Structure 1
Amino acid sequence: MPHLGLVTVVVRDYDEAIAFYRDALGFDLLEDTRIDSEKRWVVVAPPGARETAVLLARAATGDQEARIGDQTGGRVGWFLNTDAFERDYERMRAAGVTFEEAPRREPYGTVAVFRDLYGNRWDLIQLNARARQDGML
């Protein structure tokens, strides 16, 4: 059965991106392989993630550089699910993650929008029991 293996986030610098995703978001560094003198294959994922991970791809052209931090035209583009919202929200804030809003309750669970190191918008989200039962990811 097919599944989504990787999603790409275009970054300015591999090492600063690794530091943010590892230290501020708590992701694991799964792979950091040098391809050539300019390119690396860098993969990070939340601890315990079984399928989808994030490929940190350094911008190599002017067009790619122009999209750093605005890959989705200002919309939330990534959804970081948690089983303990308050724990992860407080840990991320203490690590310097910028949240755009206070946590809010929605019919599907608790959510707050944050920005990654470049300005891309993410949701930190804890689904409630009904949303999980309904299959909402």
Structure 2
Amino acid sequence: MITKLGVASVFVNDYEEAKAFFIDKLGFELRQDVTMENGFRWLTVGPPASPEFQLSLTVPGPPMHDEETAASIKALMAKGALSAGAWNTDDCRKTFAEYSARGVEFLQEPAVRPYGVEAVFRDDSGNWYSLNELNEQALDQDAMAEVFGSQSP
């Protein structure tokens, strides 16, 4: 049985640029940085509060992708069409202020939502992330279905 998510991946344009963004701007920690025999670089970072979680920073290309696939992924990144997930925080407004001061580009300032307070930011590769301060209703399926006007299955 699966117990939790250990590794998630995000596509980035440049390993060093992405590493600096996540460590210097978001305050993440370096988890792994090794290059395998086939040339694949396994670069992972993670938030200090989640020491078992690794975010894999992956540049599209060999050996994982052929040139055509890598070009397609890079085109989607350039358009800002990829969402890389949602990060939780205890205080969205405070985190927004800290990250803004560090140069993080926000697409949306903190706003009250039915599930809490949310801001949206972009990394240096064009991926966007939701930054959430969740409230008590956020994980209540029935409450969210009622707020958003849909039925629970």
TM range (shorter): 0.7 to 0.9
Residue 22 of structure 1: aligned partner: 23
Q: Which has the higher helix share?
A: 2
- The 5 A counterparts of 1:97-112 are 97-112=104-119
Q: Name structure 2 gaps, 5 residues minimum.
A: 145-153
Distance (whole Å) between structure 2 residues aligned to residue 7 and residue 64 of structure 1:
18
Spell out, residue by residue over 1:86-131, the C-alpha distance to the aligned partner (whole angstroms, 9 max, x if none).
Answer: 2211111111111112211001100011111111111011001332
Bigger Cα displacement from structure 2, 78-87 vs 52-61: 52-61
Q: Name structure 1 gaps, 5 residues minimum.
A: none
State the TM-score, normalizing by the size of structure 2: 0.75
Identity %: 37
Residue 67 of structure 1: aligned partner: 73
State the TM-score, normalizing by the size of structure 1: 0.83
**CA RMSD, aligned part only?**
2.4
**Would the aligned equivalents of 1:31 and 1:44 in 2 still touch at CA under 8 Å?**
yes
Spell out, residue by residue over 1:25-58, the C-alpha distance to the aligned partner (whole angstroms, 9 max, x if none).
Answer: 1111111112148432111111121554210112
How many residues align structurally? 134
2:87 aligns with one of 43, 65, 80: 80
Q: What's the CA shift for 1:6?
A: 1.1
Distance (whole Å) between structure 1 residues aligned to residue 75 and residue 32 of structure 2:
22
Using CA pairs below 8 Å that are at least 6 residues apart, which structure has the higher relative contact order? 1
**Would the aligned equivalents of 1:12 and 1:65 in 2 still touch at CA under 8 Å?**
no
SS in 1 for 2:112: strand
**Would the aligned equivalents of 2:92 and 2:119 in 1 still touch at CA under 8 Å?**
no
